[in-house]
Amino acid sequence: MPSGSHWTANSSKIITWLLEQPGKEEKRKTMAKVNRARSTSPPDGGWGWMIVAGCFLVTICTRAVTRCISIFFVEFQTYFTQDYAQTAWIHSIVDCVTMLCAPLGSVVSNHLSCQVGIMLGGLLASTGLILSSFATSLKHLYLTLGVLTGLGFALCYSPAIAMVGKYFSRRKALAYGIAMSGSGIGTFILAPVVQLLIEQFSWRGALLILGGFVLNLCVCGALMRPITLKDDHTTPEQNHVCRTQKEDIKRVSPYSSLTKEWAQTCLCCCLQQEYSFLLMSDFVVLAVSILFMAYGCSPLFVYLVPYALSVGVSHQQAAFLMSILGVIDIIGNITFGWLTDRRCLKNYQYVCYLFAVGMDGLCYLCLPMLQSLPLLVPFSCTFGYFDGAYVTLIPVVTTEIVGTTSLSSALGVVYFLHAVPYLVSPPIAGWLVDTTGSYTAAFLLCGFSMIFSSVLLGFARLLKRMRKTQLQFIAKESDPKLQLWTNGSVAYSVARELDQKHGKPVATAVPGYSLT
């Protein structure tokens, strides 16, 4: 129990802090005014293209390198004399950890900066690859190449993609198309290079060189110059309040129970502000659809080559199908982003996303009927194009739902939702193949999963528009002088005539109606 003198000292510090609050309130208002003055609209060019270049390199160093880890599969299996299942866990772990820890990357970039987060991630990923070159068992690779490298990639991926959305508005889809194409282009270039490195320096030397290559993430992080947008004018003030409260907590005795409770409240408040979009009905529907979409898109990249071999296609021709898939994926990234930025499609980017996901689902449904190379080549072109198309539009659709302010946190959650489907869908598809003796059931399940994802989002958007139209009609019927406007999930009617006493519009809630 604290002594009387100790209690008196703590009390005096708390009283001093309370007396300082009026002055601090003035400082907070001044800081808010300065931040508003510095805020700007997305430049849609200028340094934004350097952000796109940085994000392009980030996708090469993260997603392309992750895909190239599968090239080490035979080398690991031969050296450690393990079976397919245990060796395959290496790729699954690094991919899963990258997606599972994506929200952590958003938190680091929000509370520190995007630059610090990406640089830290680059150091972790490089350390993981370098330590992997000294591995003596698969368990060491699980920890270094799987967990440590995956964690580093997670700190880089979603913050870099979010920065592109802050620098572009009119040409956002095109910017994302160029940035996201790094995954396909990087795989196309790195795959033969990694194979050559393995032949020249063994798998240990190849991992060591990849570790040095991934250090370029630190350079990419340095390019991510922060920007304050007009949409974000409340965020700097909230961040300043949180920082001020943390400084005040340090001045009060750290042993005080009041201090601990206060610190917990401040942390919860900050996190609640960052992730308030989780309560939005539109984002919940998007999250559910992402789960079904991620389940469907993953198995094809695992089972296209085995399926082609099972219908009589040669090994070289089956590998050629995967090359076509990768190259057309790059074309889909860039061209679909450019097309949806045109004036005729600018307002229909959401619909274009639904169309691309649905087309990939239809391709899956047709795949069991395609049993020759001349039929599988058009399939690879179509599926690859629309796969690149919807990947480009995922950040665009997310921005449309949550806004630019919460984009980094929202993308962290969206990529987090990819983790579990990526982990379980290939084994489930493999079990269906073993059980039924054919690939038909596995491909049909993936196809229906992607179609359901598209239909779910489309139905939710249609239902929302029908409710909005209904509310506008009811408002006009009840009083022709009233105009309807919405704020979140609540509908308001605003009188056209001004209040004679105050000279301001009168807003009244429409009882019994909600948009959600």
438-472 residue pLDDT tens: 888 889 999 999 999 999 988 888 888 888 777 77
250 within domain boundaries: no
Mean pLDDT for 426-434 is: 81
CA angle 36, 494, 508 (to 5 degrees): 100
The domain tally of the chain equals 1
Kindly list the distances between the CA atom of residue 151 and the CA atoms of 133, 157, 321, 420, in Å, as whole numbers in the listed order. 18, 10, 32, 16
Which pLDDT value is given to residue 22?
A: 52
10 within domain boundaries: no
pLDDT reading at 49 higher than 80: yes
Highest mean pLDDT among 91-100, 164-173, 380-389: 380-389
Mean pLDDT for 56-71 is: 84
427 within domain boundaries: yes
pLDDT reading at 273 higher than 70: no
Kindly list the distances between the CA atom of residue 32 and the CA atoms of 28, 225, 249, in Å, as whole numbers in the listed order. 6, 21, 22
What CATH number corresponds to the domain at position 408? 1.20.1250.20
163 within domain boundaries: yes
Query: Confidence class of residue 79 from pLDDT cuts 50, 70 and 90?
Result: confident
pTM of the full predicted structure? 0.64
Which residue type does 430 have?
A: G
Cα four-point dihedral sign 459, 465, 469, 470: positive
147 within domain boundaries: yes
C-alpha–C-alpha distance, residues 481 and 463, integer Å: 27
306 within domain boundaries: yes
Which pLDDT value is given to residue 128?
A: 92
C-beta neighbour count of 344 within 10 angstroms: 8
Query: Confidence class of residue 507 from pLDDT cuts 50, 70 and 90?
Result: very low
pLDDT reading at 217 higher than 80: yes
41 within domain boundaries: no
pLDDT reading at 269 higher than 80: no
Mean pLDDT of the chain: 74
pLDDT reading at 488 higher than 50: no
Mean pLDDT for 350-355 is: 86
Share above pLDDT 70 across residues of the chain, in percent, rounded to a whole number: 72
pLDDT reading at 197 higher than 50: yes
Burial 477-495 (b: 16+ CB within 10 A, else e): eeeeebebeeeeeebbbee
249 within domain boundaries: no
Domain of 400? 47-228+277-470
Residue 184 phi/psi, 5-degree rounding, is -70, -45
